[in-house]
Amino acid sequence: MTQDTLPRRKPVPRGLAHSGPVLLSYGFRPFFLAAGVWAVLAMALWILALMADLPIGGLYGGPAWHAHEMLFGYSTAALAGFLLTAIPNWTGRLPVSGAPLALLFAVWLAGRAALIAPDMIDITLAVAIDALFLPLLLVICAREIIAGRKWRDLKILAAVAALASANAGYHVLVLKAEDPGLANRLAVAAFIMLIGIIGGRIIPSFTRNWLAKREAKTLPTPYNHFDTLSLVVACLALAAWVSIPDHPATSAAALVAGVLNTIRLARWQGWQTSAERLVLVLHFAYAFVPLGFFIIALVPFGLFDPISALHVFTVGGIGLMTLAVMSRATRGHTGTPLTASMTTGLSYLCLLLGAILRPLATLAPDHYMTLVSLSGLCWMLAFGLYVLEYAPILLTKRKPRPE
């Protein structure tokens, strides 16, 4: 039998493992599932700590533990799941899977376990364990982007490096009994820039594809110099917010960044996608970026406190965007129809409500704790619904092979 007469095997898509544990076949599976579960558990533990004086975080301290686990626990898991799935699509290289993926995931899990009760093993060791995850993720992403010669995506690495630095700085400040606000803001700023960069790529793309199928006459404006200007001004405003949050120049820069990003969002034609919540929610999530800038601009006038401004970015921008991307990516990479189910739509609505309630607590001081608790419950319900719907898919469903 010659080479030409050998039977040809059906092609298997690059990056789709069809053997071994399903959970370790692609980066989004373990990290999206863990992000959803930890979003619920970490918030539940924080609410219990507030209501029942639960000693969460040991000597690290409950408030510091809560802020850290939302930013560097939940959010980095969601980010890892996205990057480990998106970068192979950008580069055409095989994704990280199997044992290397299991090792990276184990490091993330070890960080969560170490910090929940750091006194049990030594707080310095617990911090060292947690601080290992982001540098490892950075090395993996850098290797893939450089090997794939995707030089324009190096800016993604800068944001991941900023997150790794922010995490290390957060630990140092907490252990020195100093205010970790600087590191906190740096991490949030890095995530917001990632939303600006990556969201500016996927939101108009997904919107264009959806509208084109329906023969819409007006499509999202393609990326141009205005988008670059919006990102540059946003970066400058965030840098000012990180370093001099109370300075008048920060308010002015934030105001300009808010206006530019509002216009940028409007150019993506989101109002035409109301029939598909899987697309519409991306626009709602991005809307919290300019809203966060506007709230920052108002803080010096006493209308909002700095913590409320921070939560506009974290609950609304980071939380809703990651939930939207996780649900869409889970569907797209498992062959599940790309349309939001009733459960998915309800999860979006819950988180949107939570994102609105949290900053409003500042405007109603007599009901502050009630509104904060309701916001936390909305957060837990949103991610609980995600886990309920998508855990079976993440654990068992492979994308069908092409015929």
Residue for token pair 């789709």:
16
Nearest CA to 295 among 285, 279, 283, 309? 309
Do residues 361 and 367 make contact, with C-beta atoms less than 8 angstroms apart? yes
- Side-chain half-sphere exposure of 263, counting CA atoms within 13 A: 13
Per-residue pLDDT tens, the chain, 403 aa: give them.
333 333 333 333 444 445 568 999 999 999 999 999 999 999 999 888 887 777 888 888 888 999 999 999 999 999 999 999 999 988 888 889 999 999 999 999 999 999 998 888 888 999 999 999 999 999 999 999 998 888 888 999 999 999 999 999 999 999 998 999 999 999 999 999 999 999 999 999 999 999 999 999 999 999 999 999 999 999 999 999 999 998 999 999 999 999 999 999 999 999 999 999 999 999 999 999 999 999 999 998 887 888 888 999 999 999 999 999 999 999 999 999 999 999 999 999 999 999 999 988 888 888 888 898 899 999 999 999 999 999 999 999 777 654 4
Q: What is the DSSP letter of 97?
A: -
Task: Kindly report the backbone phi and psi dihedral angles of residue 106, in degrees, each rounded to the nearest multiple of 5, phi listed first.
Answer: -65, -35
Q: Looking at residue 361, what is its pLDDT?
A: 84
What single-letter amino acid sits at 374? L
| pTM of the full structure | 0.92
Contact 200, 224 (CB under 8 A): no
pLDDT given at position 309: 85
